[in-house]
Amino acid sequence: MKILGLVAVIMISSLLIFATKTTNSNTTAVSDKNTSESYQIRALKIPTNLNFAGEAVPLEKEDIRERVDKELLVNTYWQSNGLLLIKRAHKYFPIIEPILEKNGIPNDFKYLAVIESGLQNVTSPAGARGFWQIMEATGKENGLEINDNVDERYHLEKATQVACDYLKASKERFGNWTLAAAAYNAGNYGISSKIETQIVSNYYDLLLADETERYIPRMVALKEILSNPEKYGFIFDDEDLYKLEEIRIIEIDTEIADIAQFSKDLGINYKVLKLHNPWLRENKLNNKSRKMYQLKIPTEI
């Protein structure tokens, strides 16, 4: 009995030591995880019916599949940026969409503005400006006023019309919307020369610069995410989204010597006037030609 008792004690001690080691091992494994227990990063299942402007994305091509997968992953897991894009889209798509429709441009091209600027009035290192990232020469060629005093690349409605004109001309030149979209990034000549050199006629068969190769997959990915935000983990209420203020239009065909004072006389301030009319670039409007300008003013002042 004593021997059996001793054996039992030894066995119990061994089990305790094993349990302690196991517990310590598990504790170490848990403590090595540098995120919460519920945090997971999952691979995404690529939808099989992706298209841009009605043109199917050839996901059977492995390189295209990888490029689309990359853009879906990057834009899904860059959560703060994705949520900001959803909020801004709710504010600005209602302005962009009717202009695209009026010009016969597929609605998917609103995502071109998303990837170009994040729906903000930004300036690129090359000098392209506004939501549609229009270069100065292109803007002037298409009728925009661009100088130190007025820069209509920041006028969303007029800039959207210029983008439509460019895209329509590119579509007529290349025969499809996918190449027209690529030409918005690389230029009509740039795409034409690649087509001629590589002896192909399809965007997905061209070897292009990295930025242009990402161009269509980025739009396709953002179209998918912004069209199905909850599917990609973005949760929000309507009150979280950005909204346009109600505005009224006033017309002016004279100079404005002091925009700050002019704003004050309207019952608003310089900041509010500039936020609604970012194409005004100085604290004055030089209008010696007596051109008729339209200014947006908040209705509730």
CATH number of 71's domain: 1.10.530.10
Residue 156 lies in a domain: yes
Are 73 and 44 in contact, with CB atoms under 8 Å apart? yes
DSSP designation for 241: S
Residue 80 lies in a domain: yes
Residue 292 lies in a domain: yes
Shared-domain flag, residues 184 and 265: no
> To the nearest whole number, what is the mean pLDDT of the chain?
91
Q: How confident is the model at residue 113 (pLDDT cuts 50, 70, 90)?
A: very high
Query: Could you tell me whether strands 55-56 and 51-52 are parallel, antiparallel, or unpaired per DSSP bridges?
Result: antiparallel
Shared-domain flag, residues 168 and 292: no
* Domain tally, the chain: 2
10-19, 25-34, 218-227: range with highest mean pLDDT: 218-227
Q: How confident is the model at residue 150 (pLDDT cuts 50, 70, 90)?
A: very high
* Tokens at 220, concatenated: 């396709």
- Name the residue range of residue 142's domain: 51-240
Average pLDDT over residues 6-13: 42
Q: Which residue has tokens 């002019």?
A: 262
Residue 188 lies in a domain: yes
Q: What pLDDT, on a 0 to 100 scale, did the predictor assign at position 175? A: 97
Q: Which residue has tokens 């609103």?
A: 110
Residue 141 lies in a domain: yes
Q: What angle do CA 145, 247, 95 make, to 5 degrees?
A: 60
Q: How confident is the model at residue 185 (pLDDT cuts 50, 70, 90)?
A: very high
DSSP codes of every residue in 132-198: TTB-HHHHHHTT--BSSSBBGGG-HHHHHHHHHHHHHHHHHHHSSHHHHHHHHHH-HHHHHHHHHHH
Shared-domain flag, residues 205 and 272: no
- Asked if pLDDT for residue 194 goes beyond 50, the answer is yes
Shared-domain flag, residues 169 and 231: yes
C-alpha span between 154 and 160 (Å, rounded): 10
Shared-domain flag, residues 185 and 272: no
Shared-domain flag, residues 88 and 232: yes
Shared-domain flag, residues 274 and 166: no
Among the residue ranges 5-19, 28-42, 117-131, the one predicted with the least confidence is 5-19
Shared-domain flag, residues 109 and 221: yes
Shared-domain flag, residues 144 and 259: no
Cα→Cα distances 242→118, 132, 154, Å: 14, 20, 19
- Asked if pLDDT for residue 109 goes beyond 90, the answer is yes
- Asked if pLDDT for residue 125 goes beyond 60, the answer is yes
Residue 120 lies in a domain: yes
C-alpha span between 109 and 127 (Å, rounded): 22
Shared-domain flag, residues 106 and 121: yes
Shared-domain flag, residues 185 and 267: no
C-alpha span between 246 and 298 (Å, rounded): 6
Residue 196 lies in a domain: yes
Whole-structure pTM value: 0.87
| Better pLDDT: 205 or 11 | 205
Residue 8 lies in a domain: no
Shared-domain flag, residues 166 and 273: no
Average pLDDT over residues 83-109: 98
Q: How confident is the model at residue 34 (pLDDT cuts 50, 70, 90)?
A: confident
Q: What pLDDT, on a 0 to 100 scale, did the predictor assign at position 8? A: 44
Q: What pLDDT, on a 0 to 100 scale, did the predictor assign at position 31? A: 58
* Tokens at 223, concatenated: 């179209």
Which one of 240, 266, 283 terminates a domain?
240
Per-residue burial over 103-141, b if 16 or more Cβ lie within 10 Å, else e, is eebbebbbbbbbbbbebebeeeeeebbbbbbbbeebbee
C-alpha span between 282 and 182 (Å, rounded): 34
Q: What pLDDT, on a 0 to 100 scale, did the predictor assign at position 36? A: 85
C-alpha span between 252 and 236 (Å, rounded): 41
